[in-house]
Structure 1
Amino acid sequence: MTPKLTTSIRSSRGAPISERTVADGLPGTRIPRRYVNADGVSLIGELPRSRVFDTYWRFAAARQSAYQRRLLGEVPPWTTDATIARYRFTNCYRATDRVSQFLIRHVAYCGPREPAQLVFRILLFKFFNRISTWGALEREFGTISLASFEPRSWAEYLLELSLTRPIYSAAYVIPQPAMGAARKASNHLLLLARMVEENLSDKLLSCGSMKEAFDLLRSYSGIGDFLAYQFVIDLNYSTVLDFSEMDFVVAGPGARDGIAKCFGAAAVRNASQIIRYMSESQDEHFARLGLRFDRLGGKRPLTLVDCQNLFCETDKYTRATHPEVNGLSRRTRIKQLFRPTGSIPEPWFPPKWGVNARK
């Protein structure tokens, strides 16, 4: 019979908060005491793990290998992993994904570069998070800048456009802010106008940490924890912000599912320090499992946002490979199939990272 392992989470005073059982019988993962959140909650002793914990690392290595082989122009299939070959998964590094690459190349490092212009352009793009919508706005109104921004006429154009094609990304839900308009796009443009009027760019420039910038974005209507974190990461690609991606992390719903599958549901309350542990111990676990993982540009490791994303992708991946292991949402189906659209261009990253290939 498979032995059961328990996860004991204690407060800084040592009082038990909760217990969960993970019935996989794998050795516990020792989480050092330094992984403590702002409430003083730490993981004491060993945090038991399910078989999904090692799957997390194996998936990361296989997914990164498939990305690298495709980037090198090899002919498909780019992986021997049947699940990765069949279904669509994001890349291990968030910045290498198609939409992030477009934002970095064509939004954050193209066009007007003053802080107010960059904040405006990046948030406009992120409210819709769809490359075709950005392209349509550029064709209709020219270079996207504060000088050409007119919420009413832009909203009318987007309403007309929405009758023939989607204008929002389907990657995740982008809630509607409460700005008083009848249409979602109108409300997002009105929110953007308010941000401009309130000199959001100056406020962001004065932030002393990524968490402070996150809280500032989080204070606006329709922007919850998940969106605020995504927005601050994208702004941090630009020259407006320059925080380390190891400063701060917020686990999204998918990542919490992945954490629950790896460590049990009780561990989710400590999601931030678990994600930090994964980032800081990645070399240890790739070596332990005999896995090759090629870093970004040969030197940039997986940061907090990347490990957060990998928990989300591990949740999806294990719906096929470990269907008996449930996450919090108990989702069982992977929705999107992988449909390659040809070769991918050489990626380009924020110059401050120092990882771009030399020409």
Structure 2
Amino acid sequence: MTLRPPVARNGIYEHYWAFASRRQAAFERRVAGLPAPWTDDPILQTFKFCNVYRAADRVSQYMIRDVCYHDEPCTPEDRLFQIVAFRTFSKIDTWRDVHATLGRYPTLDDLGDGSFTRALDEARRRNGGLYTGAFILCATDAYGQGLKHLNHVELFRHMFLTDDLGAKLLAATSLREVYDQLHGYPLMGDFMSYQISIDLNYSGLINFSENEFTQAGPGALRGIKKCFTDLGDYTPADTIRWMVDNQEKELDRLGLPFNGLWGRPLHAIDCQGLFCETDKYCREAAPELASARKRIKARFTQTAEPMELFFPPKWDINQQVPTGQVLGTTASPDRMFEPQGTLF
């Protein structure tokens, strides 16, 4: 039986691919060292948008280089705990403070003896908030603690000390199984479980196709609703996979240049994120479309903190990435479920 495919909303669906083309071109010009502005699109010039490729965003870049592939001694289970913990907070300054207090990246021994908790308490005392504004996390006191970060510490203890989640993740046979293992815990919703699954898959410890499984977040669901008038017999996940499978054909049909990430095509996590960014973009480009959110809160501003691009070595693209420091951007946080990116 042939499934009925989604029906595109004319004039809006095309924004998805046009955004991907223009946003990636801006990224490439930035990396090449060309002066601003890196795009002639007034919406992209004015507002903050994630990169087309999730792995190129500033927090993901820090995650890959300094969490997934740091060179300090630790066990595989330690590193998996570090990845889960880092993404839960998603705030680079929190992780740097914890490292400075402990003198190393936190291990399961630190989680067990309370050193990790004390390091978080110290980071909170110095900086105030431990969390980024880029995620709206479940804030219930599932573990009976009065402070959000203490509930998350108890979550990590439940996962990695009581349930030996590290060993289970190392034994997983699919990305879906990684997701299911995470999703079974309190405080781990659909979207957060998916995001952490992708982060774990960046590491050298877990290695599955990013196209094997996907989960649409709230912003992506809004974008899908804007781009299509009817999904036919497709689920949101099917629709994301359709975009992955048809990216080259659609970009060619629309006459839009797209080089990929040094030859790496869009994967499901990227196409999922692009729906979220299309939802944001359409708040300005097509404000007549009804949405729960009517404006883009975060404006583009440039910051001087340098960042050198580094991707999972198993992708085999780092040798093509220009060496040297390049600059990211910052902006007032737009509280949303999806991780914020930078016009990098």
| TMscore range, shorter length | 0.7 to 0.9
Please say which structure displays the higher CA radius of gyration.
1
Q: Distance in 2 between matches of 1:195 and 1:282?
A: 38
Q: 2:129 aligns with which of 122, 145, 166?
A: 166
Q: Distance in 2 between matches of 1:267 and 1:113?
A: 49
Q: Distance in 1 between matches of 2:199 and 2:233?
A: 25
Task: Tell me if the contact between 1:48 and 1:263 (Cα under 8 Å) persists in the aligned partners.
Answer: yes
Task: Tell me if the contact between 2:6 and 2:233 (Cα under 8 Å) persists in the aligned partners.
Answer: no
Residue 226 of structure 2 corresponds to 261
The letter of the residue matching 1:71 is V
Residue 78 of structure 2 corresponds to 117
Q: Which runs of 5+ in 1 are unaligned?
A: 1-11, 13-32, 34-41
Deviation at 1:268, TM superposition (A): 10
Deviation at 1:161, TM superposition (A): 3.6
The answer to whether the aligner puts 1:250 opposite 2:215 as a matched pair is yes
Q: Distance in 1 between matches of 2:273 and 2:7?
A: 21
Q: Deviations for 1:331-354, whole angstroms, at most 9, x for unmatched residues?
A: 111010011114753411111111
TM-score using structure 2 length: 0.87
Q: Distance in 2 between matches of 1:187 and 1:265?
A: 41
Residues 353 and 183 (structure 1), Cα distance of their counterparts in 2 relative to 1, 3 Å cut: same
Task: Tell me if the contact between 2:5 and 2:232 (Cα under 8 Å) persists in the aligned partners.
Answer: no
Residue 302 of structure 1 corresponds to 266
Q: 1:288 aligns with which of 253, 262, 275?
A: 253
SS in 1 for 2:23: helix
Task: Tell me if the contact between 2:310 and 2:318 (Cα under 8 Å) persists in the aligned partners.
Answer: yes
Q: Distance in 2 between matches of 1:221 and 1:229?
A: 14
The answer to whether the aligner puts 1:175 opposite 2:138 as a matched pair is yes
Once the two structures are aligned, what percentage of the paired residues are identical? 40
TM-score using structure 1 length: 0.83
SS in 2 for 1:317: helix
Task: Tell me if the contact between 1:205 and 1:240 (Cα under 8 Å) persists in the aligned partners.
Answer: yes
The answer to whether the aligner puts 1:79 opposite 2:44 as a matched pair is no
Residue 227 of structure 1 corresponds to 192
Residue 130 of structure 1 corresponds to 91
Q: Distance in 2 between matches of 1:288 and 1:336?
A: 32
The answer to whether the aligner puts 1:70 opposite 2:30 as a matched pair is yes
Q: Distance in 1 between matches of 2:300 and 2:74?
A: 36
The answer to whether the aligner puts 1:212 opposite 2:177 as a matched pair is yes
Q: Distance in 2 between matches of 1:155 and 1:224?
A: 23
Deviation at 1:147, TM superposition (A): 3.4
Deviation at 1:267, TM superposition (A): 6.0
Residues 343 and 62 (structure 1), Cα distance of their counterparts in 2 relative to 1, 3 Å cut: farther
Q: Distance in 1 between matches of 2:305 and 2:109?
A: 36
Deviation at 1:181, TM superposition (A): 1.3
Residues 46 and 106 (structure 1), Cα distance of their counterparts in 2 relative to 1, 3 Å cut: closer
Count of residue pairs brought into register by the alignment: 316
Task: Tell me if the contact between 2:6 and 2:228 (Cα under 8 Å) persists in the aligned partners.
Answer: no
Residue 7 of structure 1 corresponds to none
Q: Once superposed, what is the RMSD of the aligned Cα atoms?
A: 2.0
Residue 107 of structure 1 corresponds to 67
Q: 2:153 aligns with which of 156, 167, 189?
A: 189
Farther off after superposition, 305-314 or 143-152: 143-152
Q: Distance in 2 between matches of 1:300 and 1:93?
A: 10
Q: Distance in 2 between matches of 1:127 and 1:194?
A: 15
Task: Tell me if the contact between 2:51 and 2:57 (Cα under 8 Å) persists in the aligned partners.
Answer: yes
Deviation at 1:269, TM superposition (A): 6.8
The letter of the residue matching 1:337 is R
Q: Distance in 2 between matches of 1:147 and 1:97?
A: 31
Q: 1:92 aligns with which of 44, 52, 60?
A: 52
Structure 1 consecutive aligned stretches of length 4 or more whose deviation exceeds 6 Å: none
The letter of the residue matching 1:174 is L
Bigger relative contact order, structure 1 or 2 (CA pairs below 8 A, ≥6 apart): 2
Q: Which runs of 5+ in 2 are unaligned?
A: 324-344
Task: Tell me if the contact between 2:5 and 2:233 (Cα under 8 Å) persists in the aligned partners.
Answer: no
Residue 30 of structure 1 corresponds to none
Q: Distance in 2 between matches of 1:81 and 1:230?
A: 29
Deviation at 1:79, TM superposition (A): 0.6
Q: Distance in 2 between matches of 1:314 and 1:248?
A: 21
Q: Deviations for 1:149-177, whole angstroms, at most 9, x for unmatched residues?
A: 35645434434543543210111112236
